[in-house]
Amino acid sequence: MDFQIEIFKTNIETPADSERVIKFLKGIFPETEFNIDLWDPEYILRVKSSNIFCRDIEKQLNSLGFYCKCLP
């Protein structure tokens, strides 16, 4: 199976928010891997899956009150 990785800029700054967001996203996208780099100044969210829809990820994070933008 081929996987793709998408990178998102976010404003998720704390470990607690990171854990909450990843748990939330795993509930919606159970076959997808998520990682948030809190050390990166752009708080990068990496998403690995066989089928990623950037707008869906952005929409879900926005619904939680976070900024999220897929990077080219």
pLDDT of residue 25: 97
Tell me the mean pLDDT in the region 22-42: 96
Instruction: Kindly report the pTM of this predicted structure.
Output: 0.93
Tell me the mean pLDDT in the region 32-41: 97
The DSSP bridge partners found for residue 69 are 9
pLDDT of residue 33: 96
Q: How far is the CA of 71 from the CAs of 10, 13, 16, 27, in angstroms? A: 10, 18, 24, 23
Which 8-state DSSP code applies to residue 11? -
Query: Above 90 in pLDDT, residue 2?
Result: no
